[in-house]
Structure 1
């Protein structure tokens, strides 16, 4: 809707322009004379000033005929603007301003026009164009005018500026506006000769957006006046809001208040109240709000934040509306300005002169048919009214002042005044265009130049209304600079209109912000209205306003409702962990027992106890047990490739060698006492041809081949298991439960089962040859240890499980050592009387007698 109305407004401004021209030309009389009444000053080069010295004349006529501007009420703002131009020209002519060497020997003149309506601005532009037409194409027998303006200063609003900018652009007459901020005027293809000393609305919209973001006012209503200024500003702000997560709950265009429109305006107020917004952005001209705010006061609205554009926020016309102070906090944009030194005294001097001057003595100078109706206002009458200045007047007057100095600097350059004085010559308006684009000077410590679009580089001040009794002031509380974009606001200077129980900055949100770790779930058509949902585990959200949670990186994790990810815990059996230290002490004790026992057995190798236990085979068994126990060292610390290759095969092969020895020894004992008589030849041949040794070697080689093939086909490597725990990384060796490892473990289990069977068969043999109970106990310990470990491994992979793995290794070694070797070492050390041939013969005889 805003786009359509904006286009309609633009087509009205340009499409009907030439129709107005025809009607205006027919409506203007001829033969009148102009009085020198503050609106004209003779000089060498002329400026034209377009100022609203009176308010609009509204008629019911359908044709855009210009009524006499003097029929309207005096416009004190326009009066101050005109005085600012006159003051700047007087400073330059009298060499009393900030640049006393500017235009030496050159006198500036001016024509001031009362542009009380759009039609008046169009007519004033035609008057300037008529002079240019006579200069470019003079009629036979006529002389070109010598007081043709080179530059136009004004008009005041965007709506009034656009038609004049099109007309003046056709003749490339430079035009510098002091209040027209519509961003469309920056289009050089349409307005080639347009400049301005007020920032464009693009910058103002950016400033408003930054203020809304600064205070997190994301749920707003947006109103704009039904002219080019309001429509374009409202459209731009609406578009930019979407990029900054600002939702417009209600948007409408403010018409001029008439009897027909009053109810529509009341409905707008009700609609705003229904949306429950706290912040209302008003991008509007003063004239529209002058009729709107009384209706807001009528509805007893309180506690709102009114964010205003520069056109009205500093205007006494709005602030003086009865009851407006009860509506809430008024915050807005104000054009940056500096107080012009001496300007106040200049106006007071004009006021004093207006009381004593005899207007009947004014000289009468003919203007021609188009100028009469625009220069008939009496400036001395306006001066006598003693109009006070407010912040809005100061800002706009400063912009007029700068515009005059910009023209003077361009003219100074064109006349070559820097080299031996100014050269007197005729200058066409279009010749100043490139020089205006290059002017650069400072006024009141404020740099002034135009960019490629004819816009100044200045930003906006952030101002607030403060009430002191019945009086109000506009206080600067911050500023916005566009290059680079920067907003500063001193919140402590703002006096918020808050309920009695509120102490902080008011908020204006459809839904309160979600806590960190919660995402938004939109609940309506506006993305500012939402529910908050907690982020699930392994995701996070460290900002407010996002609608989706972010997954954590692979090596990080997060619990539910997290605002950041945490490093996963690394799970491995550290060397310095208390449990590791205990296991290492146990391992050291185990290695000491096995190696110490091997030394003892080696020293008593020819004794009956050692021979009955297997003789030299005992040393092999103890060596294998030592190697099996040493494999536990591969389980400590961070996994390494050599450690992964060794830890399981080293234990399985070493323990298999020990089991093979025990199995063969049990088989020998069983055969000697139970089967030797049945198979005497076969057993003797097997025993005499090193059958036990070859059997042990063959079994060990078979298990070794299985392990080597498993490692070669699918070598285990250090790995990081990221799936087992969401918050931890298991550092282990790969393929712990691979098919090859199961085959490897199955071989060891089969061998242990065979060993258990043969040992159990010798349970009734002589005591010196009967280790059935001890071996069976050892193998039960071995099996239970590994069953517990693998059961625990399936449900847990933490450091405790890794410790259980080490404990299973050591318990297997200690079980065999305790069941098989410890009794023999005990006899050798503590019962030497039992380590004799006689004792063993006696045991065998007793066994034989019992069998008989």
Structure 2
């Protein structure tokens, strides 16, 4: 089919769409332009103006979205010579049409082209500028009809921009002919009635890719898409055409973030690296693919067969040596290449517009000149760096510059632009050649340049298809980027190794299954195991879940830091007790020792030493004898200690009563024999409680697996909770009784404040053991033993310091106070 016939067929889709007009009833006779956008553009006057939207720059400054002031159009940067070549292709096509006497005779076409900077917001502003014009005031006729500033727009570059712009232009039936937007969603004539394109939709690409997958038997593939309708519709096509029923599966579908967030890209590439799919299909634009490949190189993900969409198939920056180990052998879907005669000569004739700066007029040309020759126009543009910059004269020799811009041997997008311009031209020519009385508008009228009728739909464009067309590949010319130099094997699931089991995927072929790791405590030691078996009671699964290993044991050990610390503190307390006992024995004849019931003091120090030593029974692996002895030793030692304190308190009260008239008889009940007997009786009661407890329900060692499934926690179960409670309760009863008696005696005339010291020591003792109960109950395993040891040590140190600290201070550091005179003098003062 020759070019003329193609253009004639294309004109059918645009026949009436070209002459669109906005019909509305207005109350005023004129309209005021509300906003004039400062856009990077290129213009040429004519009888009929065609609009164009091109990606001349890659980036733009961030928009001010604070909503506190009027937002300004951002500044674009990152000049793209290929985008500018596409714009010049449109200018060339219009110039060629104007020189053709057979097409649009007596009509001169002009153009108004704008840069969209690959941003939806800027492209949308440019489209509104094209359809509304730049006049400050427009005078309207009574019928409120007239020729729009442009009769059609060639663009936009991307599917996202085209979707946004077509949604608005479709309301006013202004045609938008895209040369690069491939999203299948744009084929919906209900949503986008005035959108057309000269490039195949994604449906064509998807169908071609599926044919390639079937040809090589790749049934397990990965799909990465952009987070816009371009990518979403591509994914839908793959899911519908390449599902289980179609003999294939998609390994993963990932959405690239709009801003190419590095963390998200790392996650996506990590999924690719771990997946069993060796074939990866990517629907993404140039910039996103570049960022994706940076992360692929960083993680060194090789061994993948890539299939590229047309958006990045022929991107030069991806065809570099350092990317060959990763992208070498990529199979891509590319748009058809065409030839545009004389375009090369036209590009060499580009000259700057010296009468305008970079803010208006043909600023695209000037920007290209600055980019090519690294010069500038006056005044310098914003952000210009004066380092070595020279003024552009317009006389620079452009033929001597070797850049990709002048290479017209591989025209793809440019050829689509060229066809889009000719499609609009042929549609306009058909409309102007209409015979009066046979026109498509009301009363069979025709259109003319002075009066354009509302748009009517009169036909539908359908891409010609060749029935029975099949995919043909010359495999000898395909470069396979693998050591085997053969197509990769990409199946749904590989065999499950030991340590995993097979889990069928619901709704997918039988070859599709997950290798699920065996749960804790279970193993599998064969390949492709259907079930995992449980380990014996005292064993647990290895980290690889392929064999059973003995469970770890846990108890309060002498070899761990906590056990070493508690042991050291216990021995330190014992040593201090021995030292204090030695001090008291050495100074047994001094008044301060004799005045504080030296016999009970010695017995109290011995009992405190036993309290410190009994804590060692709680450290180490629990055994039967340690479980039985630990609580008995603990209970008897503390009762002995508290009993001595109780008797000392009672003696203090008896001595005070004896100092009063008629109270001498009270001392006979608290002689030395009575004191020893009282301590013995009170301690014997605790011994009886311990004996009954050990006989009825003795504590025994126990292997506990409730805290950790993979550990055996060795602990001593108390056997009888009632026995343990009675043991603690009896100690608490004696402690509370001692505290009350000492409190009653705290104001007695005692030169050494013995009653006050006893009161303070008992408060410390009671506070420690009151806090012990909830802490002990809530602590698991070895930490329960640690809590009990801590309570024993804390209460023992409290008694030792409170009762013997002041006395040792006077004996060692204040010997002048350790005299009968000093003691008696103080008593007299009180």
Shorter-chain TM-score category? 0.3 to 0.5
TM-score, normalised via structure 1 length? 0.46
Which of the two has higher C-alpha Rg? 1
TM-score, normalised via structure 2 length? 0.47
